[in-house]
Structure 1
Amino acid sequence: MLLTLDQVLVELGGPEGPLPRSTWQDWQRKGTGPKVIKLPNGQIRVARDDLNAWLDGLTRDPSR
């Protein structure tokens, strides 16, 4: 399943609202965000599996 950028920003945000687009752009510039698919019309999509894998990679065991 492909997610729109807006869907991803909402999912990554918190109670205060979606993740700021500027934060997303910073992550992409630094190469620290999830993989993206850029469509010919310039829109961004993120595969659900890629987003989940990226989030799994951020998971840390609090006891370590």
Structure 2
Amino acid sequence: MAPPRDEMLTISQVIEEIGVPRATFYRWRQIRKGPKAIKLPNGAVRIRRSELDRWLGSLEEAA
């Protein structure tokens, strides 16, 4: 049986889940403070579920 695929989230899904304004998320990306993202060949940006969870966990430990 194949392992489950790592869900690819849109920026809209991520900002809705973590509850920050879109501008804040883009500012975090600009200063490399946010979760690592993947830029697809068509220009769309996706964040892996595992990366979002890892990033959120790192914030929890720092608090």
- TM-score, with normalisation over the residues of structure 2? 0.82
- Percent sequence identity over aligned pairs: 44
Following superposition, the deviation at residue 54 of structure 1 comes to: 0.2
| Aligned match for 2:10, one of 4, 10, 13 | 4
SS at match of 1:55: helix
Separation in structure 2 between the aligned mates of residue 59 and residue 20 of structure 1, nearest angstrom: 20
Give CA deviations for 1:22-44 in whole Å, capped at 9, x if unaligned: 10111011110000011111111
Which structure exhibits the higher relative contact order, with contacts defined as CA atoms closer than 8 Å and separated by 6 or more residues? 2
Paired positions, count: 57
- Structure 2 alignment gaps of length 5 or more: 1-6
Q: Distance in 2 between matches of 1:61 and 1:22?
A: 23
Q: Please state whether the residue corresponding to 2:16 is helix, strand or coil.
A: helix
Structure 1 stretches of 4+ with a deviation exceeding 6 A read: none
2:10 matches 1:35: no
